[in-house]
A = this chain, B = another copy of it.
């Protein structure tokens, strides 16, 4: 029996944000995250357990349980951090190629087994569907940078939600549901569809 979901007394924080930004707490978090990354890189994820992570991180299992709740939450936390973009999207001079480049790179990365695992981990978090939302926010922020630049150049730009719907969602959907794997030229088609709907002003 895990724990009821209703009257939870907030024992576990979101881990990343500041519970006690200070020394030890942050140190433990970093160590545990590193341990997860290492173990994930070495063994198969089916042989990953909380006690194992704890041992490698040099903390007791109860520390992890108290702070993250269970393995899924911990994995989601780690995955979210890895999904956070570290740099702004490359500026190629046009929205079309900016999008094509970024989306193609995203597709490439998330089509791989480890990439898909990241998305799965983020989605698996039960107590915190916030993680998935944040993951989506990351992408939208990247799109926002691109459209801002495009708008500054005088290009007509689509809505952020529309970019997500037309270009990002299909990629993610196909990865998650293992539908026909997107091949070369797929991303170009999505972007073309997005930009084709620009001048004609679709209802929204």
Q: Which of B4, B133, B196, B200 contacts A177 (CB 8 A)?
A: B133
Q: What's the Cα separation between A197 and B172 when bound, in Å?
A: 22
Q: Is the CB of B120 within 8 A of A1?
A: no
A190 within 8 A of B: yes
Residues of chain B lying within 8 A (CB to CB) of residue A190: 165
Q: How far is the CA of A172 from the CA of B136 in the complex (A)?
A: 13
Give the CA-CA distance A183 to B46 in the complex, in Å: 39
Q: Which range holds the interface residue count of chain A?
A: 35 or more
A196: chain B residues at CB < 8 Å are: 197, 200, 202-203
A125–B98 alpha-carbon span in the complex (Å):
35
Give the shortest distance, in Å, between A34 (CB) and chain B (any CB): 21
**Which residues on B sit within 8 Å (CB–CB) of A130?**
178
Q: Quick check: is A28 within 8 A (CB to CB) of the other chain?
A: no
**Does B169 lie within 8 Å of A164, measured CB to CB?**
no
A170 within 8 A of B: yes
Interface centre among A124, A130, A176 (most CB of B within 10 A): A176
Q: Are B46 and A178 in contact (CB under 8 A)?
A: no
Give Cα A123–Cα B18 distance, bound, in whole angstroms. Answer: 31
- Given the known interface contacts A133-B178, A136-B179, A190-B165, the answer about A46 and B5 at a Cβ–Cβ threshold of 8 Å is yes
Interface 1/0s, chain A 155-179, versus B by CB < 8 A? Answer: 0000001001110111011101111
- In the complex, A164→B179 CA distance in Å? 10
Residues of A within 8 A of B (CB): 1-6, 44-47, 49, 120, 123-124, 126, 129-130, 132-133, 135-136, 140, 161, 164-166, 168-170, 172-174, 176-180, 188-190, 192-193, 196-197, 200, 202-204
